[in-house]
Amino acid sequence: MLNALTLSTRPLSAWEAPIAERSTPAPGTEAPLARDLAGAEDATLLGWAAAGDRRAFDQLAVRHLPLLYRVALRITGRPAEAEEVAQEAMLRLWQNAAKFDPTRAQLGSWLYRITANLAIDRTRRTRFQPLAEAEAAPDPAPGPEAVLDARQRRALLAAALQELPPRQRAALALSYDQGLSGAEAAAALSISTRALEGLLRRARHFLSARLRGEEE
């Protein structure tokens, strides 16, 4: 106690600044363990990750992995492959973290583009596996759609999705599942907005007809 009082009243040396005059570290320059990862924006986290902060990158993974998984799952139809694709996309982000310029591209769009391309490449190597109802797909006999219950609809949809080209599935994943604008989804697929609309139109037209039990 006495020591503490002595220390607190000791006159400051020439190189010491009073506490009130000491500058606080600018955002991003504080010690990595003191960083507010949960409250930081993506661009800030990426900047920290580029400097080697793996905890910041883990926070980015927590935020984006569920979304990337859903995009990959819509395109590949296989949960295991969707997991691998989402992880691969995040690893690509780590490798390019220092080169990524948030002022020129949005992180989410960049990740979606990488994920969609990886997933499309995989579906070209392996056959698309429809989601949960793949094994239980009923005979798509024509019938009024009002009669179809939700389970049958899902099964019909799963079977119909199997027949869509991967790029149409990617367009559905980005535009409907992720709710990207037309421009964002088109940029992620490196196509024009008009081409994206064509993909969506053909996909929906086909799926809608199959839900009604019609052959395209």
Binding residues for another protein, rule: CB under 8 A, are 49-50, 52, 54, 57-58, 61-62, 65-66, 69-70, 73-74, 79, 82-83, 86-87, 90-91, 94-99, 131-132, 145, 150, 153-154, 156-158, 161, 172, 176-177, 197, 200-201, 204-205, 207-208, 211-212
Instruction: Find tokens 């980005």 and name the residue.
Output: 174
* Inter-residue contact 181 to 212 (CB < 8 Å): no
Residue closer to another protein (CB basis): 187 or 203: 203
Rounded to whole angstroms, the Cα distance separating 94 from 100 reads: 10
Cβ 41 to another protein shortest distance, Å: 18
Cβ 27 to another protein shortest distance, Å: 20
Backbone angles phi, psi at 191, to 5 degrees: -135, 170
Exposed, middle or buried by CB within 10 Å (0-12, 13-18, 19+), for 149? exposed
Angle at 175 between CA 143 and CA 101, to 5 degrees: 165
Residue closer to another protein (CB basis): 14 or 88: 88
Cβ 154 to another protein shortest distance, Å: 5
* Inter-residue contact 116 to 188 (CB < 8 Å): yes
Cβ 160 to another protein shortest distance, Å: 10
Provide the 8-state DSSP code for 59: H
Residue closer to another protein (CB basis): 18 or 144: 144
Residue closer to another protein (CB basis): 62 or 105: 62
Rounded to whole angstroms, the Cα distance separating 57 from 35 reads: 12
Cβ 19 to another protein shortest distance, Å: 35
Rounded to whole angstroms, the Cα distance separating 156 from 135 reads: 11
Rounded to whole angstroms, the Cα distance separating 144 from 153 reads: 12
Rounded to whole angstroms, the Cα distance separating 211 from 214 reads: 7
Rounded to whole angstroms, the Cα distance separating 71 from 29 reads: 35
Cβ 39 to another protein shortest distance, Å: 19
Residue closer to another protein (CB basis): 50 or 191: 50
